[in-house]
Amino acid sequence: MTLLKNISLKKYNSFGIETIARDFSIFQSQDELFEIVDQYHDRILESHLILGGGSNILFTSQLLDTIVLKNELKGIQIIKEDDDHFYVEVAAGENWHQFVLHCINNGWAGVENLSLIPGTVGASPIQNIGAYGVEVKDLIDSVEAYHIADRTIQNFTNAACAFDYRDSIFKTKWKNQFVITKVLFRLSKFPIFKTGYGAIETELKNMGITDLNIRSVSDAVIKIRSSKLPDPAIIGNAGSFFKNPSISKEQFETIKQSHPDITGYPNKDGSVKIAAGWLIEKAGWKGYREGEAGCHSLQALVLINYGHASGSEIFDLSEKIISSINQVFKIPLEREVNIL
């Protein structure tokens, strides 16, 4: 395989940022991945980027002087089942939302709350994606990954992935050392509905749903997300830009005295998780625009590219928001989006 030179990544990132990759290649099979790693092994070890859907990344430089490899591995199959579960193996390049819809069409329960999340299946364990009370770590049985240095396929159990809130071992200890190739999901034959988080119950009532099923839950989540989150195909964004922070119960109660509308969700360690979008809105950033970069008018957690913003402009806006929240609430915000 040969590397393509000076390729625009604008269509490969959901922010729509114009960035040039000095060297670029797409792999659609494991053999193609093995071939290109063999051919450019030392250079890839020195510097590389594995690109999936480009939905959780912000490019801040106009030129990426590295090898960019786009993962387009495809395939979905049941490899085993027991009395309660299907074990579904999914190639890393599959579109996440299309995989969710495939599960719903086949009656495989568990991922319905994660409908309409952008990106690919391969990114889901790296980021431990989550929404509406569900995290993908609760559905993953194991992860198959290719170790670039050793050129070997390795398998990670759920425990070995060291999942945490929007985190995993692939973002910490093994960052940039593996290419996710497949994810094995443990999906239920008998759904356990989680409708108490966010506005799902309200949306289900508005939809007139009386016979609850995984499709109706998915439809409700899609309606909620579509009403609040901009479509990257229309306006550039990466969805939630910041993580929801956790604070002490004492700090939460202090904030509640002056802001009684704050909502918190208790963590197992006694801390309280609060909505970053609520903090950003209360600090006055919702709907703010600075040139071509802005904070969405319906969901303050989303930073947007109005068309011609640079990655640096969006990053600078995020810096101002972080500083503001720290000043107003004494709470440090952490970016969910990867900055390059």
Q: Which residues are catalytic?
A: 166, 240, 336
Confirm if 142 and 155 have CB atoms less than 8 A apart. Answer: yes
What are the C-alpha distances in Å from 168 to residues 136, 137, 162, 194, 220? 11, 9, 5, 23, 29
Exposed / middle / buried, residue 261 (Cβ in 10 Å: 0-12, 13-18, 19+)? exposed
> Can you tell me whether residue 66 is helix, strand or coil?
strand
Nearest-10 crossing angle of helices 214-228, 96-106: 150
SS3 of 78-106: the string is EEEECCCEEEEEEECCCEHHHHHHHHHHH
What distance lies between CA 307 and its chain's CA centroid? 22
Q: What is the DSSP letter of 245?
A: P
Which of 268, 112, 267 lies closest to 185 in space, CA to CA? Answer: 112
Residue whose C-alpha is closest to residue 145's, from 135, 134, 157 = 157
How far apart are alpha carbons 234 and 236 in whole angstroms? Answer: 7
